[in-house]
Amino acid sequence: AQTVTQSQPEMSVQEAETVTLSCTYDTSESDYYLFWYKQPPSRQMILVIRQEAYKQQNATENRFSVNFQKAAKSFSLKISDSQLGDAAMYFCAPNFGNEKLTFGTGTRLTIIP
């Protein structure tokens, strides 16, 4: 079975600081895609960043970057210079090659002013 685990139900960070959200998964596939989505309160799901499993280089999008360790099946999200607008639920959501996303249970991120 393909599973996704986000072991941090809640995280908090001071504004302007850096925070890392963890995600581990289990799959027997070798070629797949990994995504982080953000869901602000009462707002829709927004794609934050994507990573192709065949790429060794970690993806970066402005203040957001990932640490992808394929052998360890780990895909963490680092948010630098945290801003108040970053407050949201963050979901790790791999696509294991079967077209659907498999979501973790999410991490609620609070930004402390």
Partner 1 sequence: DTGVSQNPRHKITKRGQNVTFRCDPISEHNRLYWYRQTLGQGPEFLTYFQNEAQLEKSRLLSDRFSAERPKGSFSTLEIQRTEQGDSAMYLCASSLELAWGPEQYFGPGTRLTVT
Member of 11, 50, 58, 87 binding partner 1 (CB under 8 A): 50
24 binds partner 1 per the rule CB under 8 A: no
Minimum CB separation of residue 16 from partner 1 in Å reads 28
Site size toward partner 1 (CB under 8 A) is: 24
Rounded alpha-carbon distances, angstroms, from residue 67 to 41, 52, 53, 99: 26, 12, 12, 23
Q: How far is CA 108 from CA 8, 9, 40, 50, 52, in A?
A: 8, 6, 9, 19, 25
Whose Cβ is closer to partner 1: residue 18's or residue 98's? Answer: 98
CB contact at 8 A, 51 and 58: yes
Which residue ranges make up the site for partner 1 (CB under 8 A)?
4, 32-33, 35, 37, 43-47, 50, 52, 91, 93, 95, 98-106
